[in-house]
Structure 1
């Protein structure tokens, strides 16, 4: 389930939404290398800056999902997507998966807006990725027929470790991680039986 054995072309064909999301990550990150643009141009226009959201720039509840600061930040989130998102894209279908992924990220960013001060700013796909983790947790808790014991034994420790590390690393949007995870669990609990194809992983 979480071991990728596809070739590059097979991955693009089988998981188009995950591929597009990672491509957007890389594209926005590469824009920072364009000589005639300031290095922080992407951040200034697309980061989740609470004060700007308060002043009406509501797109900043969506765009931070695709923006990363630093190569390690980009690499970690993109690698997490490549590992953990494909089974859900296959299970839910590309349109439902896109809706779930964006919903978790947006809910995480809305929570960040309301619970953090106006001076707070953030970027990164972590809220949406924790939403995907929440979907798996929901499977393990409420829909055990959708996930095998072996895969449950893989994903649950990863989620627990990721959640614990949230509180021990600096510059982490704890609010986004927690509300992304919770939104995924709630979506899984309420909607997964309706959304999912008849597939067990």
Structure 2
């Protein structure tokens, strides 16, 4: 089962350095938001890089990246941190840190781009933060493995991934205030980015 973590904290930092860096960045930025007015304050979020489709910020392309490291409330941070800690490490091990970084950031950015396009199409203003799009990109990559590289993933892990995706999709649409398009865009982005990456670089084996 690839999603069970066996490492102590030193081993985790050693084997999954980029995932660890993403986690640390999320926590640090949450502290920064908290001491500067609160992580649920929209003005604070915009000040530190939240994504929005408001015309005043339309030229600030960097928000597509910075918003991935901001979280609105401790529960939001905790939920995404848990997903990163448990589910992302096997993908970093499979692709290596550099390629995994391309997947994570590329999928997150694509999810944000599609989310902005969606809100623009319906004429609604949005302020969006969170690592969910990037995390769903990792899920999308695992979905590719589960469907097309079945020998690289054990059956228990495959069933866990399908269940996780099912509940994730239901949760994305059932809960209010969830940027479901960022989730869906990240999932699709991760699926196709992974497919491209494995054609450029041969991945390692996931089986323990």
Q: Same fold (TM over 0.5)?
A: yes
- RMSD across aligned positions (CA): 1.7
Unpaired runs of 5+ residues, structure 1, are none
| 1:118-152 CA distance string (max 9 Å, x none) | 62111011111111111111111122222122211
Task: State the 1:187 CA deviation.
Answer: 2.2
Task: State the 1:55 CA deviation.
Answer: 3.1
**SS of residue paired to 1:137:** helix
The residue aligned with 1:62 is 65
Separation in structure 1 between the aligned mates of residue 13 and residue 54 of structure 2, nearest angstrom: 38
TM-score, with length taken from structure 2: 0.89
Bigger shift: 102-111 or 159-168?
A: 159-168
**Structure 1 segments (4+ residues) deviating >4 Å:** none
The residue aligned with 1:145 is 151
Instruction: Sort the Cα spacing of 1:11 and 1:33 in 2 relative to 1 into closer, same or farther, 3 A.
Output: same
CA contact under 8 A between 1:142 and 1:189: conserved in structure 2? Answer: no
The residue aligned with 2:203 is 197
User: Matches of residues 1-201 of structure 1 in structure 2 within 5 Å?
Assistant: 1-34=2-35, 37-39=36-38, 40=41, 42-45=44-47, 46-51=49-54, 55-117=58-120, 119-201=125-207
Bigger shift: 110-119 or 19-28?
A: 110-119
Unpaired runs of 5+ residues, structure 2, are none
**SS of residue paired to 1:5:** coil
Task: State the 1:8 CA deviation.
Answer: 1.0
Number of positions where the alignment pairs a residue of Structure 1 with one of Structure 2:
199
CA contact under 8 A between 1:108 and 1:128: conserved in structure 2? Answer: yes
TM-score, with length taken from structure 1: 0.92
**SS of residue paired to 1:175:** helix
Separation in structure 2 between the aligned mates of residue 180 and residue 105 of structure 1, nearest angstrom: 5
Separation in structure 2 between the aligned mates of residue 20 and residue 43 of structure 1, nearest angstrom: 21
Separation in structure 2 between the aligned mates of residue 113 and residue 64 of structure 1, nearest angstrom: 12
